[in-house]
Structure 1
Amino acid sequence: PSLRFAPSKGNFYLYGGPRFAFNQNKEFTYQQGINPDYPNQVAPADVISDFSDVEKTIISMQVGMGYDMQLSKSTSKTQLVLSPFVAFHPYFGQNPRSIETWNLTTVRAGAVLKIGSGHRITPEEVIVKIPEVTFLVTSPVNVPGDLRVTETFPLRNYIYFDENSTDISKRYVLLNKDQVKDFKEDQVEVFKPNTKLAGRSKREMTVYYNILNILGDRMGKNPNSTIVLVGSSENGSAEGKLMATSVQKYLVDVFAINASRIAIEGRSKPKLPEEQIGGTRELVLLREGDRRVSVESSSPALLMEFQSGPDAPLKPVQINAVQVAPVASYVTFKVDGADEAFSTWQMEITDENGVVQNYGPYTKEEVSIPGTTILGTKPEGDYKVKMIGTNKTGEIVTKESTTHIVAWTPSKVEEGMRFSILYEFDDANAIAMYNKYLSEVVAPKIPANAKVIIHGYTDVIGEEDYNQTLSVKRATDVKDTLQNSVAKLGTTGVTFEMNGLGENENTAPFGNNLPEERAYNRTVIIDVVPQK
């Protein structure tokens, strides 16, 4: 007997087990010849006898390997399988006599013909109910308008440091003394960072990566202003203080800020940490966000309107930006029921010339793609869209639709406004800090009959459903505050559109690879669009 083991799904197998031997005959014959020098000699008679002390039963072991070769059809009642094999029988346990140490060690090769017979089994029919899905393609008209946006961009007061380094990261724009005279806050695009930036957030992140230069420029223009640099490192407060010292040294050496105006502190964790006690998930990303130098100030010249105290945000930067395609201009593909029906789904998008583009696979029910990604250089076009879903049983389900896509084009007249507020990690209560800013700075700038579009976002840390709910709460709080403020001001005809977009990376305003990008994704963006 042996135990068979197949290491893969193929026909190759290994086997091993005990080997039993039963003695059937212990007789021997002893023959003697004659001496060649005496050819006439008569040979002695043969001696026939039995070996003494012969074991009746021998127990040992065997190991081997083989390969099954199917000789008959799988549907045939009689099955024939030829199995070539090789086996090793060690000497262990194979001593045939109890008074001696004879042993037999063998390697054997051969083939086994296996014959079997069976009957056909008709499987019980199981009816699997496939959930119904609907496929909807929404392509905005995207008629070129006359709107361009002036953005009030918040300046995140954190400088993030690379792991195991106390030097300012090369992602930040660092000037030399001779360049300071040419630096202007409203022209930061002159000094671009070395980091590769996504198009949608390129201008905004260029502003952020100039934070040290903006801070140095503002302190130079406001000689009474002071700051506190609080460095935080998981390696301890001493390293955190070295990180803060690097920032202080840059401001002193390059912008000639008196060192007495810049206090420094070191901590093992920031005052508002991302990593929480007892947390076990996504610790790498959370610790990247906690390895930073926070800029604190009580000087009004450096702070956002109506803010004070060490936790107050820095004054935002005005960006007169040429607008990039907004989320609302994207083509949306929605497969209702995909979560339940499909393991994955993808799309084939075919233009009028038969050129096919493939997108996916996706696992979410809704996907948004910029129209220009599909159109390329064409201003517009007609497309056939085939949704190909793979359901939980492996079957393919297809749905088809058609759509007309128009490329979004930048506007020409500068009228719109954009504002943003930032949240700390897993925070939905920044509204308390920004309440006065929203009611006394943003609301008065909303003209009659304007459309106010409010989008809430989160970073990718945490559960998707939780982040979706969090983004809705953030956006709802901002909408409620602005609605109440506009009503109190007596501004009429203002309409509000609000969406929480969660962590959806197709619609996120920034990337999620770096801690500063994730920090800026924890936001609510407010677009004020005048209506004619």
Structure 2
Amino acid sequence: MSPKNKISKKIILCLLMFVSASSFAQKISSSPTWWFGVSAAGNLNYYSGTTQRLDNAYFVPTAFHKGTGVRPFGSILMEYNSGKLFGGMLNIGYDGRGAKFDDVIAPCDCPATLKSNLSYVTIEPSLRVNAGATNFYFFAGPRVAFNLSKDYEYTQLKQEDRDGDFSAIDKTIFSGQVGIGYDYLISTPNAKTAVVLSPFMSFHPYFGQEPRTIESLSISTVRTGLALKFGKGSNQTVTENNNVVVPNRDVDFSVRAPKVIPQKRQVSETLPLLNYVFFDNESNKIPSRYILLNQSQASNFKEEQLEKEETANMTGRSARQINVYHNILNILGDRLRSNPQATISLSGASLNGAEEGKVFAEEIKEYLVSVFGINSSRITTQGRVKPLVPSEQPGGSKELTLLRTGDRRVDITSSSPELLLEVGGGMMKPIQITANQVDPLDSHVLFNVDGAEDVLRSWSIAMTDENGTVQNFGPFTKNQGSFPGKTILGNRSTGDYKVVMTGITKKGETVKKESTVRLVRQDDLIDKGYRYSILFDFDKTKTIASYDNFLKTTVAPLIADGSTVIIHGHTDAIGSEDYNYTLSRTRAMETQKLLNNALKSSGKNNVKFETLGFGEDVNNAPFDNSTPEERFYNRTVIIDIIPAK
């Protein structure tokens, strides 16, 4: 068998191994048309033929015939892939074709070696052929290479080493290649920019790869490497000639319903307290919505009084929780009174000037001193134009009125752990409250339409019970929608439903999917649950990292094996609806990731997560958006822990 045939067999074997190794990967779900990126690879070069004249002045005594070597390859690339059978590829880059020849023995019985350092600037256009519904692709095309370097190194025992440039080197090489690759999507399916990592392997046969115009040296090359490609994701709708082009894919429909629908749950909630007091426009007095006491009432006030349940608590946090926050000055006074060594700093901010900001701070100081009897030396005040963490950012131009209302406030800071707790940055130490939660989130029926945001304009749900009564819900535009099971059942204790999802695609076509669900209502109060909350500054997700220790040491230990953890993210109404939805889901998913890692570290694996992003959805928002404190509390991720029954 000839050496060249042996090389061909090795190449075929490598390609088969590559196909086998990639066969278990998942299919890409995002398919941009144009891709741009870079690639890096190693060239395994095989030399054959005869090489004896090195340059015009030197002829080695013994000819070299074979050799091998690995040299780098790197390129910038462009690719066209419409998802159909054929596409195109273009690589322009550096191509190393050097190698070391097999050693020979000169007539003087002296070992001799020869190394080459051939390299080229290569241009490689290729036809891309997609392999059916998989992410495999094949490619083939010409190679045009322009010589970049041609030096050699020759050594022979009993003779001085020699180096120089090969003579008679072709300045331009015309050859070809054939190869296979696989596209792995490494970005999220809904990312604005899709990112693909593509391992590939190609074979460059010796045809046309004779680098010299003399003798018979030829080179065969196997190239293996990775390409990193970026493209505009398929979740973006493209308009061409007034026709909407959408991804050519189906949607998947499923329904998640609770085994039983709980009507109430007793919840022990750890409620974070914002360390802010907001002031109304055109006023430097503490707003009337904050609960202010006289001296007699203050002498009997204890923050523990706020922990006792007085009113039912709805799905979110509702009036009871905002009432606790509106007692912030009384809670602060009680904590200062109970911890005589603690001190605080009040920093007031107003766009009207630092002087008015200090007036805000002095108003709060006066209340604490005159009503709760706190020594004035324990409270320092200062004025600022903007608060310590402003909502209005440089260059911002939208909804500035709402943002500036949130920045007209007093920040409460302290180094005393009895007052503040560093879980996410400077919040007041949280307070424990107990409430009966009515219509909890896990009593909702969830409708999941995977791919809806990519494919559908909107979708609706029709639920038909065994008596033929139809209830309609929607329209929805996100991948997920929900509705309380209590509302669906009405006065009935059980119900069997046929569920039909009807969607309208972005092309105007109708899509229908069906499922069934059985609902059962439970009227009794069920086991106690736990609730924790994370609050965020405006438009920020990075504060999740500062909750890492809090989630590991406080929240995770309460999650027992078999529990269900419902994590739901929310935002205020500032900004676009789509942006807020994505932001809330990002916050919720990051929270789940931190909790899941903590649970795995402690050996807890039998925990079910349901993670949702509601954005600014008014039907699920914990609060209204009419006051700055409501908007701040809506920037949240809520964690509900439901023990196993």
What interval of TM-score do these two structures reach, taking the shorter chain for normalisation? 0.5 to 0.7
| Structure 2 counterpart of 1:495 | 607
| Structure 2 counterpart of 1:298 | 415
Alignment equivalent of 2:298, drawn from 177, 180, 185:
180
| Structure 2 counterpart of 1:201 | 317
| Structure 2 counterpart of 1:152 | 270
1:255 to 2:383 alignment: no
Q: Deviations over 1:253-278 (max 9, x none)?
A: 32222222222222221111111100
1:443 to 2:568 alignment: no
1:421 to 2:534 alignment: yes
Amino acid aligned to 1:300: P
CA contact 2:286–2:364 (8 Å) conserved in 1: yes
Instruction: Give the direction of change, closer, same or farther, for the CA distance of 1:491–1:176 in structure 2 (3 Å limit).
Output: farther
Amino acid aligned to 2:316: R
| Structure 1 counterpart of 2:240 | none
Bigger RCO of structures 1 and 2 (CA < 8 A, at least 6 apart): 1
Alignment equivalent of 2:573, drawn from 453, 457, 460:
460
Describe the SS at the equivalent of 1:207: helix
Q: Flag the structure with higher strand content.
A: 2
Amino acid aligned to 1:261: R
Counterparts of 2:479 and 2:563 in 1: how far apart (Å)? 32
| Structure 2 counterpart of 1:321 | 435
Instruction: Give the direction of change, closer, same or farther, for the CA distance of 1:496–1:138 in structure 2 (3 Å limit).
Output: closer
Counterparts of 1:353 and 1:498 in 2: how far apart (Å)? 32
Counterparts of 2:366 and 2:497 in 1: how far apart (Å)? 58
Counterparts of 2:558 and 2:505 in 1: how far apart (Å)? 51
| Structure 1 counterpart of 2:395 | 278
Amino acid aligned to 1:213: N
Counterparts of 1:444 and 1:133 in 2: how far apart (Å)? 38
Describe the SS at the equivalent of 1:169: coil
Counterparts of 1:56-71 in structure 2, within 5 Å, are none
CA contact 1:476–1:498 (8 Å) conserved in 2: no
1:343 offset after TM fit, Å?
Answer: 5.3
Amino acid aligned to 2:328: I
1:497 offset after TM fit, Å?
Answer: 1.6
Alignment equivalent of 1:162, drawn from 280, 284, 295:
280
Counterparts of 2:513 and 2:561 in 1: how far apart (Å)? 44
CA contact 1:479–1:496 (8 Å) conserved in 2: no
1:471 offset after TM fit, Å?
Answer: 3.4
1:137 offset after TM fit, Å?
Answer: 4.8
Instruction: Give the direction of change, closer, same or farther, for the CA distance of 1:451–1:405 in structure 2 (3 Å limit).
Output: closer
CA contact 1:324–1:410 (8 Å) conserved in 2: no
Describe the SS at the equivalent of 1:517: helix
Instruction: Give the direction of change, closer, same or farther, for the CA distance of 1:445–1:393 in structure 2 (3 Å limit).
Output: closer
Counterparts of 1:334-413 in structure 2, within 5 Å, are 334=448, 359-382=473-496, 403-407=517-521, 409=523, 411-413=525-527
Describe the SS at the equivalent of 2:317: helix
Instruction: Give the direction of change, closer, same or farther, for the CA distance of 1:406–1:172 in structure 2 (3 Å limit).
Output: farther
Amino acid aligned to 1:172: Y
Instruction: Give the direction of change, closer, same or farther, for the CA distance of 1:191–1:242 in structure 2 (3 Å limit).
Output: farther
Counterparts of 2:643 and 2:314 in 1: how far apart (Å)? 28
CA contact 2:314–2:438 (8 Å) conserved in 1: no
Residue range with higher mean Cα deviation, 244-253 or 495-504: 495-504
Residue range with higher mean Cα deviation, 494-503 or 380-389: 380-389
Bigger Rg, which one? 1
| Structure 2 counterpart of 1:521 | 634
Counterparts of 2:641 and 2:265 in 1: how far apart (Å)? 10
CA contact 1:153–1:420 (8 Å) conserved in 2: yes
CA contact 1:346–1:387 (8 Å) conserved in 2: yes
Counterparts of 1:151 and 1:455 in 2: how far apart (Å)? 15
Instruction: Give the direction of change, closer, same or farther, for the CA distance of 1:248–1:448 in structure 2 (3 Å limit).
Output: same
Q: Deviations over 1:356-399 (max 9, x none)?
A: 66655554453322223344454444556676767779898887
Q: Deviations over 1:122-145 (max 9, x none)?
A: xxxx9x999977765543333549
Q: Deviations over 1:461-505 (max 9, x none)?
A: 3344444443344334434444444455x4444525252415152
Describe the SS at the equivalent of 2:371: helix
Counterparts of 1:387 and 1:447 in 2: how far apart (Å)? 36
Describe the SS at the equivalent of 1:512: coil
1:321 offset after TM fit, Å?
Answer: 2.3
CA contact 1:345–1:360 (8 Å) conserved in 2: yes
Alignment equivalent of 2:544, drawn from 431, 436, 444:
431
Residue range with higher mean Cα deviation, 500-509 or 374-383: 374-383
1:442 offset after TM fit, Å?
Answer: 3.0
CA contact 2:496–2:516 (8 Å) conserved in 1: yes
Counterparts of 2:555 and 2:423 in 1: how far apart (Å)? 14
Instruction: Give the direction of change, closer, same or farther, for the CA distance of 1:380–1:171 in structure 2 (3 Å limit).
Output: farther
Instruction: Give the direction of change, closer, same or farther, for the CA distance of 1:369–1:181 in structure 2 (3 Å limit).
Output: farther
Instruction: Give the direction of change, closer, same or farther, for the CA distance of 1:480–1:427 in structure 2 (3 Å limit).
Output: same
Counterparts of 1:100-111 in structure 2, within 5 Å, are none
Instruction: Give the direction of change, closer, same or farther, for the CA distance of 1:452–1:386 in structure 2 (3 Å limit).
Output: closer
Describe the SS at the equivalent of 1:323: strand
Query: 5+ residue gaps in structure 2?
Result: 1-242
Number of equivalences: 400
Instruction: Give the direction of change, closer, same or farther, for the CA distance of 1:174–1:137 in structure 2 (3 Å limit).
Output: same
Instruction: Give the direction of change, closer, same or farther, for the CA distance of 1:234–1:410 in structure 2 (3 Å limit).
Output: farther
Amino acid aligned to 1:322: N
1:188 offset after TM fit, Å?
Answer: 2.0
Counterparts of 1:502 and 1:512 in 2: how far apart (Å)? 15
Q: Deviations over 1:433-479 (max 9, x none)?
A: 33332333333444455444433433333344444443344334434
Alignment equivalent of 2:327, drawn from 177, 186, 210:
210
Counterparts of 1:181 and 1:527 in 2: how far apart (Å)? 35
Counterparts of 1:65-84 in structure 2, within 5 Å, are none
Query: 5+ residue gaps in structure 1?
Result: 1-125
Describe the SS at the equivalent of 1:140: coil
Counterparts of 2:569 and 2:317 in 1: how far apart (Å)? 16
CA contact 2:261–2:443 (8 Å) conserved in 1: no
Counterparts of 2:545 and 2:507 in 1: how far apart (Å)? 50
Alignment equivalent of 2:289, drawn from 159, 162, 171:
171
Alignment equivalent of 2:382, drawn from 265, 269, 278:
265
User: Which TM-score applies when normalising by structure 2?
Assistant: 0.53
Query: Identity over aligned residues, as a percent?
Result: 48
CA RMSD of aligned residues (A): 4.0
1:317 offset after TM fit, Å?
Answer: 0.4
Amino acid aligned to 1:503: G
